[in-house]
Amino acid sequence: MTQPGLPVIVRSDKGMMQIIMNRPEKKNALTREMYALMAEALEEAASNETIRLVSFKGMGGTFTSGNDLMDFLNQSITAESPVFRFIETLVSFPKILCAQVTGAAVGIGTTMLLHCDLVYASEKAFFQLPFTKLGLCPEAASSLLLPKVVGLTRAATLLISGDAIDARTAEDWGLISAVFSEESFDAESEKRLLKVAAMPPDALRRTRALLRKPLEKEMRDALLREVQHFEELLKGPEAAEALQAFVEKRPPDFSDFIWPPDHS
């Protein structure tokens, strides 16, 4: 099924649902509406017995530039925000979850991959967690999952420097499953995903559950910790400066901020 014009397009074929972020003019930056649509699509996939596998993609050569920064500026984030409904559906999703990443995978564009079973990227894809640069902190249980996936040192490198890594590095670090050339990416990644979608569903279901279920409580605890810090930081002066700088297309200036007392 194709719905051109919608910010999220959902297509289902041969047991695979593709959830396609479709806001290429803003590098597929995710709005509240898009999180709600993606959560709905995941819920539909979970309850539709013909679907075995879901894959996220981005339109226009970008996976996603992460949360819409204007939304951060204009709307507060709380545990009730659509982004958390989306993250919750990722955590509890019972089917095989995958991603086909081209171009930028920024912020939640990378943290959502930690909830996926198979992640394929094209050679020019890159992965970035710029939370600290934005005066923010990790989300989507990445403070728990990223060190488990890539190790503490690499997780700290990504989360503290906020610098991007390329697809080959992400593959070496175990963040993604495989890298394909730009030319062969669509066909190759789709072929592999369809192969999995044709596999025995009960075996697939139990395998994802065996890998993920033991982590569920830890993930929920991490989400609660993260959302509290995230909400506080988003309302604070550091994020205000970072977001204002983004709007004004200038580098942020954090030189006047002092190291804060620890209230945790």
Task: List residues near ligand COA by CB under 6 A.
Answer: 26-27, 29, 65-70, 104, 106-107, 130-131, 134
Q: What is residue 136's three-state secondary structure?
A: coil
Token look-up 């939640």 returns 108
Biggest CA–CA distance in the chain, Å, is 58
Q: Using the minimum distance from each CB to ligand COA, give the nearer residue, 134 or 175.
A: 134
Q: Using the minimum distance from each CB to ligand COA, give the nearer residue, 36 or 70.
A: 70
CA 218 – CA 226 distance, rounded (Å): 12
Token look-up 């719905």 returns 3
- Smallest distance, ligand COA to C-beta of residue 90, A: 16
Q: Using the minimum distance from each CB to ligand COA, give the nearer residue, 15 or 107.
A: 107
CA 201 – CA 185 distance, rounded (Å): 26
- Smallest distance, ligand COA to C-beta of residue 111, A: 9
Contact in structure between 16 and 45 (CB atoms under 8 Å): no
Rg (CA), the chain: 18
Q: Using the minimum distance from each CB to ligand COA, give the nearer residue, 35 or 193.
A: 35
Within 8 A by CB and 6+ apart from 210, the residues are none
Q: Which of 71, 60, 1 has its CA nearest to residue 30? A: 71
Q: How many CA atoms lie within 13 A of 105 on its CB side?
A: 29
- Quick count: other Cβ atoms within 10 Å of Cβ 25? 8
Identify the burial level of 123 via C-beta atoms within 10 angstroms of its C-beta, where 0-12 means exposed, 13-18 middle and 19 or more buried: middle
Q: Using the minimum distance from each CB to ligand COA, give the nearer residue, 18 or 65.
A: 65
- Smallest distance, ligand COA to C-beta of residue 23, A: 9
Q: Using the minimum distance from each CB to ligand COA, give the nearer residue, 119 or 243.
A: 243
- Smallest distance, ligand COA to C-beta of residue 30, A: 8
- Smallest distance, ligand COA to C-beta of residue 146, A: 14
- Smallest distance, ligand COA to C-beta of residue 65, A: 3
Residue nearest ligand COA by beta-carbon distance = 107
Within 8 A by CB and 6+ apart from 259, the residues are none
Q: Identify the DSSP state of 61.
A: G
- Smallest distance, ligand COA to C-beta of residue 223, A: 16
Q: Using the minimum distance from each CB to ligand COA, give the nearer residue, 116 or 125.
A: 125
